[in-house]
Amino acid sequence: MILPYKGFGNSHEIYFLGRVLRDRGIVASNLEDKKWQNFKKMYKRFMSWEIPNVRVRAEFQGIVQTATTDDEGYFVIHLHFQKPIPLDSPWQEVRVELLDKVVKNQGEVRAINQVFIPLKNIGFGVISDIDDTIVPTGATRLFTMLKTTFMGNAHTRLPFPGIAAFYQALAKGNADQVSHPFFYVSSSPWNLYDFLMEFLEVHQIPKGPLMLRDLGLSREQFIAGSHWEHKLKQVEKIFEIEKHLQFVLIGDSGQHDPEIYLQVVKDYPGRVKMIYIRDIKTSRHPELLAIESELKNLGIPMLLIKNTHEAASHAAAQGWIPKSALERVQVASEVT
């Protein structure tokens, strides 16, 4: 099977990654699934059977690129266009097919990938972490994180109260249609891609490209790159391709998101509108206050929040979301 990961681009280029794997028949989860069923699906995700050194062809509006999978089955597609792409919708489809035969009687192996290309006057974009920003994972506590990951599913894993309502409001803004795109960057491995995309859909959190990291020995190290290096690289990749967008950055205090976002502000002056940090690690307050002060000197506000309603209240005060959305966030956040 070809598993393409949602991509993004602009009027002159499209970028996305994907993977060629043995199809292990992982289907969508149900609320009624037992823990052993969840564990079995998660086991299959991590015990993946990669298909290396095969060619994959991607085609969009007559532009074609062929890529070869690496030792872990990954491929990268980066299409370039001499003329601006005519668009009628921000979400476009790219056709992907496997060119090589892996097994006898293989048949055609194809997939359709979705890529996001912002239309004019789209406003700003939002880049959000996932672990301990959208959903509690205990990412700073290994045993808790593993138990949560392997025993739950997209239905039983619940986001922080109010997150869906807040992100929906941010996506819509003050327009009548979705105008602010979302991008998700996480240190979770690509093995969890389908699980996380299902999680976003189940809980009605705005869809968007999801940038994860490799869990393999063939690259730099066991988990390719540090949390810091991976996340900074992926966030800045989004900034480089979505050249005309400013961004609101959302993260948490548990795994150096504030330091990463500070570096992004330094590397891309004038591109960050706001930083929201969910405060889950109070022992870091001296460091966070120092970062907040440095960002203030750079003209970028950073708000430490205890709950989603605090971020929504600030966004409403800036006019980024309608005040009518605050009530929905407040009810969902269980704030009295």
Q: What is the pLDDT of residue 225?
A: 54
Q: What is the Cα 278 distance to its own chain's centre?
A: 17
Q: What is the pLDDT of residue 13?
A: 95
238-255 average pLDDT score: 94
Confidence of residue 224 (pLDDT cuts 50, 70, 90): very low
Task: Name the token pair of 178.
Answer: 């979705």
Q: What is the pLDDT of residue 187?
A: 87
CB half-sphere exposure, 31, CA atoms < 13 A = 3
Q: Is the pLDDT of residue 215 over 90?
A: no
Sheet holding 272-278, edge to edge: 210-213, 182-189, 125-128, 247-252, 272-278, 302-305
Q: Is the pLDDT of residue 249 over 90?
A: yes
Q: Is the pLDDT of residue 83 over 70?
A: yes
> 2-116 maps to which CATH number?
2.60.40
Confidence of residue 146 (pLDDT cuts 50, 70, 90): low
The more confidently predicted of residues 336 and 297 is 297
Angstrom distances, CA of residue 129 to CA of 52, 76, 235: 30, 22, 10
Confidence of residue 86 (pLDDT cuts 50, 70, 90): confident
The span from the CA of 306 to the CA of 330, in Å, is: 13
* Structure confidence by residue, pLDDT tens digits, 12-62: 999 999 999 988 766 676 676 676 666 667 767 777 789 999 999 999 999
* Structure confidence by residue, pLDDT tens digits, 4-20: 999 999 989 999 999 99
Domain 125-333 sits in CATH 3.40.50.1000: yes
The span from the CA of 83 to the CA of 11, in Å, is: 8
Q: What is the pLDDT of residue 24?
A: 76
Q: What is the pLDDT of residue 223?
A: 43
Q: What is the pLDDT of residue 219?
A: 39
Which residue ranges does the chain devote to CATH 2.60.40? 2-116
Q: What is the pLDDT of residue 150?
A: 57
Confidence of residue 76 (pLDDT cuts 50, 70, 90): very high
The span from the CA of 149 to the CA of 214, in Å, is: 17
Which amino acid, 65?
Q
The span from the CA of 1 to the CA of 117, in Å, is: 26
Which residue ranges does the chain devote to CATH 3.40.50.1000? 125-333
